[in-house]
Structure 1
Amino acid sequence: MAPLMEDEVFMAFTTYAAIVILKMSLMAPMTAFFRFSRGAFANEEDVALKPSEERKKLLRSHPDVERVRRCHQNDLENIVPFVLVGLLYALTGPELSAALLHFRVFAGSRIFHTIAYVGALPQPSRALSWMIGFLVTISMSYRVLSKVLVL
């Protein structure tokens, strides 16, 4: 394990994996913030201590809350595959410069995707940022398969 932790590519991977996982994890408190600030809750137990009339008003959806929630769902669909494929990619021994390019571009695309999603920036900003991150994961997958394909 010690030699792996000294490998520059693996250290770069763990750095950027931690960054995007932290970004994804911060979406849950952001969703809670939007729920409380917009007064829009999804479950009855969330408003159980409120008076009956107020409960009815608070049990509703709000576009801002839904936007943040969908952004978090999109993170789960993209960051988890990146972390899994990125680990395999790092183990194939790529050049540090190529690995850093993959990791940095993916992290940047996910951060920008969140800004575009939550900030409701006009398309194609969100679509392009998603596509860039997706292509990075595909590129790393290609490298892994080209190095270890055994059928």
Structure 2
Amino acid sequence: MAQLMENEVFMAFATYAAIVTLKMMLMGPITSYFRITRGSFSNEEDVARKSDEEKKKLLKSHPDVERAQRCHRNDLENIVPFFFIGLLYALTGPELSTALLHFRTFTACRLFHTIAYIGALPQPSRGLSYLVGVLVTTSMAYRVLSTVLLL
């Protein structure tokens, strides 16, 4: 473990992995905020103490809530693979500058993707940020496979 703490690439990975993980965790409170402020709940137990008439009004979908939920699911589909591939990539001994380019680009893409999703920015803003993030993870996966391929 002490050797990893001296490895600049691993430390860079840990930094950016923590940033995107915190961003992903923030999506829960953002979704809750939209649920409360938009009066949009999806579960009976969330409105259990309300009258039947209030329940009918509150048990509905809202575009802002739906966007926040889809953004969170998209994070799970992209940040989790980045975490595993990025860790393996860091262990292959890449140049620090190249690793930083990968980690920073992915992190910037995920942050912009969230802004584009929550802010309902027009396409292709969200699509491009998603695509670039996937390409970064694919590039790291290629490095891992080309370095350690033992089939």
TM-score by length of 2: 0.99
**Aligned 1:115-130 pairs, distance under 5 A:** 115-130=115-130
Indicate the residue corresponding to 1:77 in structure 2.
Answer: 77
User: Could you give the per-residue CA deviations for residues 26-74 of structure 1, whole angstroms, max 9, x where no partner exists?
Assistant: 0000000000000000000000011121011100001110011000000
Query: How many correspondences in the alignment?
Result: 151
Match for 1:90: what amino acid? Answer: A
Indicate the residue corresponding to 1:47 in structure 2.
Answer: 47
Indicate the residue corresponding to 1:16 in structure 2.
Answer: 16
User: Could you give the per-residue CA deviations for residues 72-116 of structure 1, whole angstroms, max 9, x where no partner exists?
Assistant: 000000000000000000000000000000000000000000001
1:96 and 1:78 mapped to 2: Cα distance?
23
1:46 and 1:9 mapped to 2: Cα distance?
45
1:7 Cα shift? 0.5
Structure 2, unpaired ranges of 5+: none
* Percentage identity across paired residues of the two chains: 74
1:53 and 1:122 mapped to 2: Cα distance?
36
Match for 1:20: what amino acid? Answer: V
SS at match of 2:23: helix
2:86 and 2:20 mapped to 1: Cα distance?
12
Indicate the residue corresponding to 1:64 in structure 2.
Answer: 64
2:117 and 2:4 mapped to 1: Cα distance?
36
2:82 and 2:121 mapped to 1: Cα distance?
24
Indicate the residue corresponding to 1:136 in structure 2.
Answer: 136
Indicate the residue corresponding to 1:93 in structure 2.
Answer: 93
TM-score by length of 1: 0.99
Match for 2:88: what amino acid? Answer: L
Structure 1, unpaired ranges of 5+: none
